[in-house]
A and B are shown apart, each in its own frame.
Chain A
Amino acid sequence: MHPVLKTVLQRLGLGLLTLFVVSVLIFASLEMLPGGFAQAILGQGATPETVAAFNRELGLDRPATIRYLEWIWNVLHGNFGYSYAGAGGSIKKSVSAIIAPRLYNTFFLAIMTAVIAVPLALFLGIMAALYRNSLYDRAVNAVTLTTIATPEFFIAYLLMFFLAIKVRWFPSLSTVSEDTSFLEHIYRAALPAITLTLVIVAHMMRMTRAALINLLSSPYMEMARLKGVSQRDAVIQHALPNAWAPIATVIAFNLAYLVVGVVVVEVVFVYPGIGQLMVDSVSSRNMPVVQACALIFAATYILLNLSADIVSIVTNPRLLHPK
Chain B
Amino acid sequence: MKSDNRQRVKGEALLEIRGLRIEGNSDGVWHPIVKGVDLTLKRGEVLGLIGESGAGKSTIGLAAMGFARPGCRIVDGAIMFDGIDLRAAPEDAKRKLWGARIAYVAQSAAASFNPAHRLIDQTVETAVRDGLMTRDKAVADAIDLYGRLQLPNPRTIGERYPHQVSGGQLQRAMTAMAMSCRPDLIIFDEPTTALDVTTQVEVLAAMRNIVEEFHTAAIYITHDLAVVAQMADRIMVLRHGLEVEEAPTREMLREPREDYTKTLWAVRKLAKEESISDDVTLSVRNVDASYSGVVKVLDNVTVSLPRGRTVAVVGESGSGKSTLARAITGLLPPARGEILFNGKPLPRALKDRDKDTLRRIQMIYQSADTSLNPKQTVRDILGRPLEFYHAVKGAARDRKVAELLDSIELDESYIDRLPGELSGGQKQRISIARALAAGPDIIICDEVTSALDQIVQEEILTLLMKLQKDTNVSYLFITHDIATVRAISDEIVVMHRGKVVQQGPKTQVLNPPFPAYTELLLSSVPQMDPDWLTNLLAERARAKVKA
Instruction: Report if A and B touch in the complex (beta carbons < 8 A).
Output: yes
Taking Cβ atoms with an 8 Å cutoff, the residues of A that contact B are: 217-220, 222-230, 233, 238, 241-242, 317-318, 321, 323
Flag if B98 contacts A219 (CB, 8 Å): no
Task: Identify B114's interface contact among A224, A230, A233, A323, CB under 8 A.
Answer: A224
Q: How far is the CB of B171 from chain A (nearest CB, A)?
A: 13
Contact with A along B159-184 (1 / 0, CB 8 A): 01101100000000000010000000
Flag if B115 contacts A318 (CB, 8 Å): yes
Tally chain B residues at the interface, Cβ within 8 Å: 31
Task: Identify A219's interface contact among B108, B160, B177, CB under 8 A.
Answer: B108
A-B contact pairs, 17 of them (CB 8 A): A218-B111, A219-B108, A219-B112, A220-B114, A227-B98, A227-B103, A227-B104, A227-B126, A227-B177, A228-B95, A228-B100, A228-B126, A229-B126, A238-B117, A242-B115, A317-B115, A321-B164
Q: A227-B126, A228-B96 are in contact. Are A220 and B163 (CB under 8 A)?
A: no
Complex alpha-carbon distance, A252 and B203, angstroms: 45
User: Does B395 sit within 8 A of A, measured CB to CB?
Assistant: no
Complex alpha-carbon distance, A229 and B94, angstroms: 11
Complex alpha-carbon distance, A291 and B112, angstroms: 51
Flag if A220 contacts B111 (CB, 8 Å): yes
Q: How far is the CB of A238 from chain B (nearest CB, A)?
A: 5
Chain B residues closer than 8 Å to A323, beta-carbon distance: 163-164
Complex alpha-carbon distance, A228 and B102, angstroms: 10
Flag if B98 contacts A225 (CB, 8 Å): yes
Name the residue of chain A whose CB is nearest to the CB of B94.
A228
Chain B residues closer than 8 Å to A224, beta-carbon distance: 114
Chain B residues closer than 8 Å to A238, beta-carbon distance: 114, 116-117
Complex alpha-carbon distance, A317 and B121, angstroms: 15
Q: How far is the CB of B188 from chain A (nearest CB, A)?
A: 13
Name the residue of chain B whose CB is nearest to the CB of A218.
B111
Flag if A219 contacts B106 (CB, 8 Å): yes
User: Does B113 sit within 8 A of A, measured CB to CB?
Assistant: yes
Name the residue of chain A whose CB is nearest to the CB of B110.
A219
Complex alpha-carbon distance, A233 and B100, angstroms: 16
Flag if A317 contacts B163 (CB, 8 Å): yes
Q: How far is the CB of A314 from chain B (nearest CB, A)?
A: 13
Q: How far is the CB of B126 from chain A (nearest CB, A)?
A: 5
User: Does B67 sit within 8 A of A, measured CB to CB?
Assistant: yes
Give the dominant DSSP class at A's interface: helix
Q: Give me 18 other A-B pairs in contact (C-beta within 8 A), A228-B130, A229-B95 excluded.
A: A219-B108, A220-B114, A223-B104, A224-B114, A226-B65, A226-B67, A226-B99, A226-B103, A227-B103, A227-B126, A227-B177, A228-B129, A233-B129, A238-B117, A242-B116, A318-B115, A318-B161, A323-B164
Chain B residues closer than 8 Å to A321, beta-carbon distance: 160-161, 163-164
Q: A220-B111, A220-B112, A220-B114 are in contact. Are A227 and B164 (CB under 8 A)?
A: no
Contact with A along B116-137 (1 / 0, CB 8 A): 1100000001100110000000
Name the residue of chain A whose CB is nearest to the CB of B101.
A228
Contact with A along B58-97 (1 / 0, CB 8 A): 0000000101011000000000000000000000001111
Q: How far is the CB of B127 from chain A (nearest CB, A)?
A: 10
Chain A residues closer than 8 Å to B126, beta-carbon distance: 227-229
- For chain B, residues 425 to 465, give those with C-beta under 8 angstroms from any C-beta of chain A: none
Name the residue of chain A whose CB is nearest to the CB of B97.
A228
Name the residue of chain B whose CB is nearest to the CB of A315.
B116
Task: Identify B163's interface contact among A217, A226, A228, A318, CB under 8 A.
Answer: A318
Flag if A219 contacts B111 (CB, 8 Å): yes
Most B-side CB within 10 Å, residue of A218, A224, A227, A242? A227
Chain B residues closer than 8 Å to A230, beta-carbon distance: 95
Q: How far is the CB of A128 from chain B (nearest CB, A)?
A: 16
Q: How far is the CB of B26 from chain A (nearest CB, A)?
A: 16
Name the residue of chain A whose CB is nearest to the CB of B100.
A228
Flag if B98 contacts A226 (CB, 8 Å): yes
Flag if A317 contacts B125 (CB, 8 Å): no
Nearest 4 A/B pairs, CB to CB: A241-B116, A228-B98, A227-B99, A228-B99
Q: How far is the CB of A274 from chain B (nearest CB, A)?
A: 40
Chain B residues closer than 8 Å to A220, beta-carbon distance: 111-115
Complex alpha-carbon distance, A217 and B69, angstroms: 10
Chain B residues closer than 8 Å to A219, beta-carbon distance: 106, 108, 111-112
